[in-house]
Structure 1
Amino acid sequence: MQKDDFIRLKLKFAQADVAGKISIYTETPGLSAAQYKELLRMYPLDRLNELETALAKL
């Protein structure tokens, strides 16, 4: 994903609730490994099990 697009996506991710964050993380095409890591740093660690469950369903 291009840098400008990713900056917009990060803002949307930051403002989203946990369900929205999971949706963005699992459904956004074209992210690089570095971009996934950057989003993961913004994800609430106490809710990581919910993200893991969603990823396991893919």
Structure 2
Amino acid sequence: MQRDDFMKLKLKFAQTDVAGKIAIYTETPGLSTAQYKELLRMYPIEKLEELEAVLAKL
């Protein structure tokens, strides 16, 4: 994903609830490994099991 688009996505990710974060993380096409890692660093660690559960179903 292009840098400008990713910056907009990061802002949206930061402002949304956990369900929104999960949706962005799992449904956004074209992210690089580095971009996934950057989003993961912004994800609330105490809710990691919810993200893992969704990822396990993919």
- Short-chain TM bin: over 0.9
Q: Work out the number of aligned pairs and report it.
A: 58
Could you tell me how far apart the structure 1 residues matched to 2:41 and 2:32 are? 14
The SS at the match of 1:48 is helix
Query: What is the CA RMSD across the aligned residues, in angstroms?
Result: 0.2
Give the drift of 1:8: 0.1
Structure 2: segments with no counterpart, 5+ residues: none
Post-superposition, which runs of at least 4 consecutive aligned residues in structure 1 deviate over 2 A? none
Question: Taking structure 1 as the reference length, what is the TM-score of the superposition?
Answer: 0.99
2:17 alignment partner AA: D
Q: What does 1:1-58 correspond to in 2, within 5 Å?
A: 1-58=1-58
Structure 1: segments with no counterpart, 5+ residues: none
Question: Taking structure 2 as the reference length, what is the TM-score of the superposition?
Answer: 0.99
